[in-house]
Structure 1
Amino acid sequence: MTVRTLLVGLRVTDLDRSRGFYQALGYIVVGTVPDTPFGSLTMLQLPDDPFVTVELAHDPARPVTDTGGLNHLAIQTDDLHATIATLAAHGIQTDPARPTAGPDEPLVTMVRDPDGYLVELVQWPEGHAVGMTAEDFRSG
């Protein structure tokens, strides 16, 4: 049996504003599904990722009132400072980039999307595998 995480579905209040936020992060809209039990769905994918990873669910009758059930969404970038500058150009402010510990640790920053979901932006140190693996948790 094979199991794989497909995507994270986020309920959004203002679809245009949320779509603009995620597009500023680099996502592209690859499709929509109107009139589902969750509302309309907008499927987002990063340009170098072969798969949809974020779904924006919008139903005007069901606005976001609480984001407490989702701790955060983590997104990898190859240049955190450039990503912060791109977001700033779109009027989106982030925390400053900071290393999580030492020079061999990732740079990270946090930003909130229009509905208040916490988004962690991560730049791995040079030579790190793409993504997070069990190796990241082995004690040295």
Structure 2
Amino acid sequence: MKTLFVSYRVTDLDRSLDFYTALGYVELGRVDLGAGARLVILNFPGEPAASLELVHRPGDGPVDVGSGFDHLAIQVDILATTLETLTEAGLEPGPAQHPGGPHGPKTSWLTDPDGYRIELVEWPPGHADSITAADFA
């Protein structure tokens, strides 16, 4: 088994698409579910498959992120460059942080239009492209 993608329900599809495309996602396709409901499938350029699905069901009312969801983590190559690009695109990422100390990952946070939190992560040189069992050895 493997994880395919994460799926977010969004209140305003156009506003969310503007946000996620400014973040760097591109649209792979759409599915019309009827009654104004739609799915939009996204990924980052270079990813082999979908990584994010936006679900718009206007009949369900506004999204309430609530207390059960924490965040989506996205790997970036160079955090400082990413923060500059996102700021120029009108997004508001937070400052760079070093939660693991000076030799650990660099991170920053931003929030999408519905309140979903996103963590941007730049791994230190030589680190695997994700968290692995080696991080807990």
Q: TM-score, normalised by structure 2?
A: 0.92
Structure 1 stretch 30-39 or stretch 19-28: which is displaced more? 30-39
Please identify, of 9-18 and 83-92, the stretch whose mean Cα deviation from structure 2 is larger: 83-92
**Which amino acid in structure 2 is aligned with residue 18 of structure 1?**
S
1:110 is aligned to 109
Gaps of 5+ in 2: none
Give the corresponding residue for 1:61: 59
2:70 is matched with: 71
Distance 1:96 1:125 in 2: 17
1:120 match:
119
User: What SS is found at the alignment partner of 1:109?
Assistant: strand
**Percentage identity across aligned positions?**
46
Output the amino acid matched with 2:106. L
Letter in 1 for 2:81: A
Q: Secondary structure at the match of 2:131?
A: coil
Deviations, residues 97-117 of structure 1 (Å, cap 9, x unaligned): 111122220000111001000
Q: In 1, are the aligned partners of 2:30 and 2:38 still within 8 Å (CA)?
A: yes
Tell me how large the CA RMSD over aligned residues is: 1.7
The alpha-carbon deviation at position 39 of structure 1 amounts to 2.6
Q: Assess if the C-alpha contact under 8 Å between 1:105 and 1:124 holds in 2.
A: yes
In the superposition, relative to structure 1, how do residues 70 and 36 fare at CA in structure 2: closer, same or farther (>3 Å)?
farther
The answer to whether the 8 Å contact 1:38/1:57 transfers is no
Q: TM-score, normalised by structure 1?
A: 0.90
Counterpart of 1:41 in 2: which secondary structure?
A: strand
- Structure 1 gaps of 5+ residues are none
Report the equivalent of 2:17.
19
